[in-house]
Homo-oligomer: A and B are copies of this chain.
Amino acid sequence: MTPLSDKLGDLFAQHQPGYALPREFYTSQMIYDHDIAAVWNRNWIWVGHETQIPDPGDYFLFDYGPESLIIVRDREGDIRAHLNVCRHRGSRVCTESSGKARVFVCPYHAWTYELSGALRAGREMGADFDPADWGLRQAQVRLFQGMILVCPSADAPPIDDALAQLAPLTAPFGFENLKVVHTAHYPVPANWKLAVENYLECYHCAPAHQEYARSHTLKSPLQMEALLPAMQKRAAVSGLPTTELNLTGPDAIAPGTDVYYRRYPLFDGYKTGSQSGEPLAPLLGTLTDFDGGATDVSLGILNYMLVYSDHLVGYRFVPRSVQETDIQVVWMVRNDAEEGRDYDPEALTWLWHVTSQDDERIIRHNQAGVNSHFFQPGPLAEMEWAIHDFYNFYRAMTGLPAA
Chain A contact residues, CB within 8 Å of chain B: 20, 23, 36-37, 41, 66-68, 83-93, 95, 105, 107-110, 122-126, 129, 134, 137, 152, 197, 203-204, 206-208, 361-362, 365-366, 368-383
Known: A41-B373, A124-B203. 13 other contacts (CB 8 A): A20-B88, A66-B372, A68-B368, A83-B372, A85-B369, A91-B366, A91-B368, A92-B365, A107-B208, A108-B207, A108-B366, A109-B207, A124-B381
- Please give the distance in Å from A279's CB to the nearest CB on chain B: 32
Residues from chain B with Cβ under 8 Å of A379 in the complex: 88, 125, 129
Residues from chain B with Cβ under 8 Å of A66 in the complex: 368, 371-373
Q: Is the CB of B108 within 8 A of A365?
A: yes
Residues from chain B with Cβ under 8 Å of A369 in the complex: 68, 84-86, 90-93
Residues from chain B with Cβ under 8 Å of A365 in the complex: 91-92, 95, 107-108
Residues from chain B with Cβ under 8 Å of A366 in the complex: 89-92, 108
Residues from chain B with Cβ under 8 Å of A207 in the complex: 105, 107-110
For this complex, 18 residue pairs linking A to B, each with C-beta atoms less than 8 Å apart, are A41-B374, A66-B371, A68-B372, A85-B369, A88-B378, A89-B377, A89-B380, A90-B366, A90-B372, A91-B365, A91-B368, A92-B365, A92-B369, A93-B369, A107-B365, A122-B381, A123-B203, A125-B379
Of all chain B residues, the one with the shortest Cβ separation from A368 is B92
Of all chain B residues, the one with the shortest Cβ separation from A20 is B89
Q: Is the CB of A378 within 8 A of B86?
A: yes
Give Cα A122 to B373, complex, Å: 23
Residues from chain B with Cβ under 8 Å of A129 in the complex: 379
Give Cα A204 to B197, complex, Å: 46
Closest 8 CB pairs of A and B: A110-B207, A66-B371, A90-B370, A90-B369, A88-B378, A92-B365, A91-B366, A85-B369
- Contact among B36, B110, B206 with A373 in the assembled complex (CB-CB below 8 Å): B36
- Please give the distance in Å from A377's CB to the nearest CB on chain B: 7
- Please give the distance in Å from A112's CB to the nearest CB on chain B: 10
- Contact among B67, B123, B204, B208 with A374 in the assembled complex (CB-CB below 8 Å): B67
- Contact among B90, B124, B375 with A382 in the assembled complex (CB-CB below 8 Å): B124
Quick one: which of A90, A108, A203, A379 has the most chain B CB within 10 A?
A90
Q: Is the CB of A206 within 8 A of B110?
A: yes
Give Cα A197 to B362, complex, Å: 38
Assuming A378-B90, A381-B124, is B372 touching A109 (CB within 8 A)? no
- Please give the distance in Å from A311's CB to the nearest CB on chain B: 28
Q: Is the CB of B90 within 8 A of A375?
A: yes
Q: Is the CB of B67 within 8 A of A372?
A: yes
Quick one: which of A20, A84, A91, A369 has the most chain B CB within 10 A?
A369
Residues from chain B with Cβ under 8 Å of A124 in the complex: 203, 381-383
Q: Is the CB of B378 within 8 A of A89?
A: yes
Q: Is the CB of B373 within 8 A of A90?
A: no
Residues from chain B with Cβ under 8 Å of A362 in the complex: 91, 107-108
Residues from chain B with Cβ under 8 Å of A68 in the complex: 368-369, 372
Q: Is the CB of B372 within 8 A of A85?
A: yes
- Please give the distance in Å from A92's CB to the nearest CB on chain B: 4
- Contact among B85, B87, B109, B204 with A204 in the assembled complex (CB-CB below 8 Å): B109
Residues from chain B with Cβ under 8 Å of A377 in the complex: 89-90
Give Cα A371 to B197, complex, Å: 27
Residues from chain B with Cβ under 8 Å of A85 in the complex: 369-370, 372, 374-375
Residues from chain B with Cβ under 8 Å of A89 in the complex: 20, 197, 366, 370, 377-378, 380
Give Cα A208 to B107, complex, Å: 7
Residues from chain B with Cβ under 8 Å of A110 in the complex: 206-207
- Contact among B95, B203, B370, B375 with A109 in the assembled complex (CB-CB below 8 Å): B203
Q: Is the CB of A137 within 8 A of B374?
A: yes
